[in-house]
Amino acid sequence: MWLFILRRVASTVPVMLIVAIVIFAMLRLTPGDPAVVIAGDQATAEQIARIRASLGLDLPIHEQFLTWIIQILHGDLGTSIFTNMPVSTLIGQRLEPTLLLTLTTVIFSVSVAVPLGVWAAWRAGSWTDRLIMMFSVLGFSFPVFVLGYVLIYQFGLTLKWLPTQGYKSPFTDPLGFASTIVMPTITLGMIYIALVTRITRASMLEVLGEDYIRTARAKGQIERKVLFRHALKNAAVPIATIIGIGIALLIGGAVVTETVFNIPGLGRLVVDAILRRDYPIIQGLILVFSFTYIIINMLIDIAYTMLDPRIRY
């Protein structure tokens, strides 16, 4: 196992290098120039050229790449072209909202979706199953922003129970955190509930037909134990995979929810940076996202060995 972990950690180096080269090349090939955004609408070409030179953007691409890679090797993600702040500081500011929103969404989604999926599989073909699957399709099809605005309209503007936007840290304002995180969690959770429910159902259906389930029932095991102790445990590998991938996607991909609810997370940071062509932020964030993906995938693989002792690396 340790060898596997070491191997996986070591494999991150070439993967990160490839990601670094690709993202650097893609950004330089994409139209747009931070110097023109900085200079503003009134600037002349001459002024823009001076800003470009002061930012080092007029240097040959390979020189810019080398400078950046050397910075990365020193643990420095660079400095934002616009705000003049270290990229690591900007990411640090945005990490907490993103991680906590991810956490609440995953807890909410899994605690709703897994029982629903088990229930649907247990009652496969019944109206309960069809109802759950119908809601699951709805969850997939309902645009996140529409659900967000419906919740805001109902609970923020009409009932005035919850604030319509914003984020409060649980470390300074726990109640504020609770009130600001509810609607984004539900909004973001819907699609994951749909996804995890379907995967759970499909996985459970496969397992419920196995001999050992029949044996457990024949032994007189109560149905709840059959479902959750025998079936669900054996159906857990694909469910864990989809939950893990969900976490990775949520960390970088909650842009719409963050925008609708004005949550200052990483998703908005990357979109703002792309719109302004703030290269160091985009590059730094993509590296962080890639690293997160690799680590989460590794954790999923490790989780497999716990969920299914037959799996060995």
Partner 1 sequence: MTLSRRDILAGTAATAAAATLPAGTAKAQAKRNVLKVVPHANLQILDPIWTTGYISRNHGYMIYDTLFALDNNLKPQPQMVENLDVSADRLKYTMTLRDGLAWHDGTDVTAEDCVASLQRWGKRDGMGQRLFAVTDKLEADGKKTISLTLKRPYGVVLDSIGKISSNVPFMMPKRVAETPADKQIEDTTGSGPFMFNKANWKPGNLAIYEKFKAYAPRKEAVSSAAGGKIAKVDRVEWYTMDANTAMNALMSGEIDYWEQVTPDLIDLVKKAPGVKVENLDPTGNMGWARFNHLVAPTNNPMVRQAIMKACNQEDFLKTAIGNPEYYKVCKSIYPCGTTYETDAGYVNQNVADAKTLLQQSGYKGEELVILQPTDHPVLNPFCQVMAEQLRAIGMNVKLQAMDWSTVLQRRASKDPTDKGGWNMFCTWWIGGDTVNPLTGVGFGATGEKGWFGWASDEQAVKLQDEFANAGSPADAKKAATALQERLYANGHYVNMGMFFVPVGYRDNVRGMIKSPVQFFWNMEVV
Among left, alpha and beta (phi > 0; psi -120 to 50; other), residue 181 is: alpha
Nearest distance in Å: CB 270, partner 1: 10
By beta-carbon proximity to partner 1, the closer residue of 35 and 298 is 35
CA-wise closest residue to 245 among 140, 121, 146, 106: 106
Closest to partner 1 by CB, 182 or 307? 182
Q: What are phi and psi of 79, to 5 degrees?
A: -125, 140
CB of 136 to partner 1, least distance (A): 21
Question: Minimal distance in Å, beta carbon 51 to partner 1?
Answer: 6
Q: Which is nearer to partner 1, 242 or 266 (CB)?
A: 266
CA-closest candidate to residue 144, choices 242, 229, 250: 250
* Total residue length of the chain: 313
CB of 12 or CB of 262, closer to partner 1: 262
Two tokens at 29? 């090939």
Angle at 32 between CA 291 and CA 56, to 5 degrees: 75
Q: Which is nearer to partner 1, 244 or 252 (CB)?
A: 252
Query: Of 84 and 141, which CB lies nearer to partner 1 in the complex structure?
Result: 84
Collect all residues with Cβ–Cβ distance below 8 Å to 115 and sequence separation of at least 6: none
Cα–Cα dist 150/164, whole Å: 11
Distances 116 to 125, 133, 140, 166, 297 between C-alpha atoms, Å? 14, 9, 15, 31, 25
| Structure tokens, 96 | 């907490």
Minimum CB distance to partner 1, residue 16 (Å): 26
Q: How far is the CB of 3 from partner 1 (least distance, A)?
A: 43
What 3-state DSSP class applies to 206?
helix
Least distance from partner 1 to the Cβ atom of residue 47, Å: 7
User: What is the closest distance, in whole angstroms, from the C-beta atom of residue 252 to partner 1 in the complex?
Assistant: 16
State which amino acid sits at residue 11. S
CA nearest neighbour of 257 among 311, 185, 164, 202: 185
Q: Give the residues lining the site for partner 1 (CB under 8 A).
A: 31-33, 36-48, 50-51, 53-54, 80, 82-85, 90, 93, 149, 152, 156-157, 160-166, 173, 175-176, 178-179, 182, 259-262, 264, 268-269, 272, 275-277
* CB closer to partner 1 out of 54 and 215: 54
What is the closest distance, in whole angstroms, from the C-beta atom of residue 166 to partner 1 in the complex? Answer: 7
124 burial class (0-12, 13-18, 19+ CB within 10 angstroms)? middle
- If the CB atoms of residues 3 and 159 are measured against partner 1, the closer one turns out to be 159
